[in-house]
Chain A
Amino acid sequence: MFEQTVLQINDTNSIMHIRQTARDLAKLLDFGSADQTRLATAVSELVRNVLQHGGGEGTCQIENQSDSYQDKICIIVEDEGPGIIDIDMAMQDGYSTQDSLGAGLPGTKRLVQEFMLTSEPGRTSVTIALSRRRQ
């Protein structure tokens, strides 16, 4: 089992590969099918954001942060694109640029337990995490 892997985002083929890697880890850690799908979908949205708005290239780090108390997957998606000018606005439902019509960041946020976004011109980073207490 990997503890951490960094995958490159460079074209739409990356989307399938990266979200599958995230799902595989969730499966391995025995997350239920709803959580597996939530995570894979959230990752799909974030990677797509990088391709559409984040300059088209970036990285996705998938990390297993499980310990004796909980199973936890932490994912960091980063790009060096133009950045999000108004984060508050980007986090409002219904906001979308470039006619992407995607569920955008607020929709993605609702799928995971932790969500953190930092952005400045030349560097945008989104961290999401899914965790579950060990039985």
Chain B
Amino acid sequence: MKIPVLQLKGILLTSIQAELSDEDALEFQIDVLEKVQNSNAQGVVIDITALDVVDSFMARVINETANSISMLGAHAVLCGMQPSVALTLTEMGRELIGVDSALNLDKGVDKLNDVIKGLELTMDDYQANH
């Protein structure tokens, strides 16, 4: 199963619409990263509204994807996590998800734009002072 990654201005939007097998999850991981590299995007919103189970493997994949996106110089925001998934992950413990997150796609995009704006402002500031 291929998960579409859409570009909207400077950001990428991707929505996981069904339960993923392990192979699908790993394929998604590399797909998103390659898309970030090729698109020059400054950020990625990953929507997981449709996931009703996030086990430790999936949590790790999401975590690694977000961290890798940061390493490429972009920013990731996770959005749409189901309440029962959030509860279960918290109960399982060990901060499985350490990713910036937002309630829904709308807020995810807002958050990402704020982060990108913040980065640009910092950059202007830096250039003004040097």
Contact = CB atoms under 8 A, between A and B. Distances in A.
Interface residues of A, number: 28
Chain A contact residues, majority secondary structure: helix
A33 interface: yes
A37 B22 contact: no
Nearest to A33: B84
Interface in B53-86: 53-57, 60, 82-85
A13 B21 CA distance: 7
Contacts, number: 76
11 contacts: A15-B21, A19-B55, A37-B53, A37-B88, A41-B54, A48-B55, A94-B94, A101-B56, A101-B60, A107-B93, A111-B88
B56 to A, nearest CB: 4
Interface in A25-84: 33-34, 36-38, 40-41, 44-45, 48
Contacts of A110: 91-93
Contacts of A122: none
A108 interface: yes
Contact of A111 (B23, B82, B83, B92): B92
